[in-house]
Amino acid sequence: MKQVVSMTQAEVAAYVQNHLYKNGINVVLSGGATVAIYSSNKYVSKDIDLVIVSVEDRRKIKKTMEEIGFSEIGRSFEYPGTEFIVEFPSGPLAVGEEPVREISEIEYETGILRVISPTECVKDRLAAYYHWGDQQCLSQALLVAESNKIDLDEVKRWSKVEGMDGKYAIFSDMLVKKKKLGNNISN
Counting every residue written for the chain, the total comes to 187
Residue 187, pLDDT above cutoff 80: no
Phi and psi torsions of 122, nearest 5°: -60, -45
Q: Spell out a b/e string for 8-22, using b for 16 or more CB atoms within 10 Å of the CB, else e.
A: bbbbbbbbbbbbbee
> 118-123: long-range contacts at Cβ-Cβ below 8 A with a sequence spacing of 24 or more?
118/38, 118/144, 118/145, 118/148, 118/149, 118/150, 119/150, 119/151, 119/154, 119/155, 120/95, 121/30, 121/34, 121/35, 121/38, 122/150, 122/155, 123/95, 123/96, 123/154, 123/155, 123/158
Q: How far apart are CA 100 and CA 98, in angstroms?
A: 6
Mean pLDDT of all residues belonging to the chain: 93
Q: How far apart are CA 137 and CA 114, in angstroms?
A: 22
Angle separating helix axes 135-147 and 165-186, nearest 10 degrees: 50
pLDDT band at residue 94 using 50, 70 and 90 as cut-offs: very high
Q: How far apart are CA 52 and CA 92, in angstroms?
A: 8
Give, in degrees to the nearest 5, the angle at Cα 184 between 181 and 187: 150
pLDDT tens readout for residues 110-151: 999 999 999 999 999 999 999 999 999 999 999 999 999 999
Residue 186, pLDDT above cutoff 50: no
Average pLDDT over residues 19-48: 95
Q: How far apart are CA 123 and CA 108, in angstroms?
A: 25
Q: How far apart are CA 29 and CA 27, in angstroms?
A: 7
pLDDT tens readout for residues 141-180: 999 999 999 999 999 999 999 999 999 999 999 999 988 8
Q: How far apart are CA 62 and CA 52, in angstroms?
A: 13
